[in-house]
Amino acid sequence: MRSGQNYAFNNEWHHAWERLTGIEWALDSGTIGLLSTLGIERGWRCLEVGPGAGSIARWLCERAVDGGVVAIDADTRFLDAIQEPNLEVRTADVTAADLGTRTFDLVHARLVLEHIPSRMAVLAKLREALRVDGVMLIEANDFLSFGVPGPETEQVMQGLEHVADGLGWDLHFGRRLPSALQALGLRDVAAAGHVRFFQGGSPLARSIQLSLEQLRPQLIRNGVAERVIDHVLATCGSVSELVMPPLIVQAWGRC
């Protein structure tokens, strides 16, 4: 799905599963709610790009029970435990993979495209893979809203901006999603943005902790002091604090 050299969060890391399941804990209800509203049918063929720990791929298999789900990622180790008969797992980089033409009724990606420098070319490929009247749903973060109490957040964000620039990671891709889908020529494009404070120590706060810990060496190289990183990590772990995650933007349209 993503080239390892451009992706900040390698699944080989020993805390990767915990980081990914924390994201699922926070975001799955919103993703599933919208997918349900979009009206997935039993016979649909679905493409899940960057399935992470696999929760949405599993849910899609249950909904499109007479169809099928293709889950594509450069590292699919966390999908091995999913035993759905209509799931096809492809270990591949989405930037180079052949997804076919007019192949899928649904294309979904969450927190994926912002990490791909050639994201607009990938979006065009995903649109080409949609059948007539097919649905595309893309979800991306916008770090407009990220923060914990105290001035340390600003210092961490400055470091993140430098890290992201070096990786081709767009921290603010969420705000550009609706216009990106319109540029593809999709019909009925709509979008929504959501942000909800979470208690320190919650699975999402832990996921943010782990993300920053995984990025620690790169943040330090870009001028963020260890004590600043440690303060943000401690705040994320404190049940007496509230943590604001990045804004999650959902944008969708029909072919």
Closest to 112 measured CA to CA, from 72, 160, 147:
72
Q: Which amino acid is at 211?
A: S
Q: What percent of the chain has pLDDT over 70?
A: 98
Q: CB atoms < 10 A from the CB of 165, how many?
A: 12
Mean pLDDT of 7-28: 94
The pLDDT of 33-46, averaged and rounded, is 96
What are 185-201's pLDDT values in tens digits? Answer: 999 999 999 999 999 99
Cα–Cα distances in angstroms (integers) from residue 218 to residues 90, 141, 161, 245, in the given order:
30, 20, 11, 20
CATH architecture type of domain 4-144+167-197+245-254: 3-Layer(aba) Sandwich (3.40)
Residue recorded with tokens 């943005």? 193
Compute the distance between CA of residue 70 and CA of residue 107 in angstroms, rounded to an integer: 10
Q: Report residue 3's pLDDT band, with 50, 70 and 90 as the boundaries.
A: very low
Bridge partners (DSSP) of residue 244 are 147
Q: What is the pTM of this model?
A: 0.95
For the chain, give every domain's residue range: 4-144+167-197+245-254
226 alpha-carbon distance from chain centroid: 27
pLDDT at 5 over 90: no
Q: Does residue 127 surpass a pLDDT of 90?
A: yes
Lowest-confidence region among 142-146, 148-152, 165-169, 246-250 = 148-152
pLDDT digits (tens, 9 = 90+) for 131-163: 999 999 999 999 998 988 888 899 999 999 999
Q: In this structure, which amino acid lies at residue 163?
A: V
d(CA 99, CA 55): 22
3-state helix, strand, coil in the chain (%, to 5): 45, 25, 35
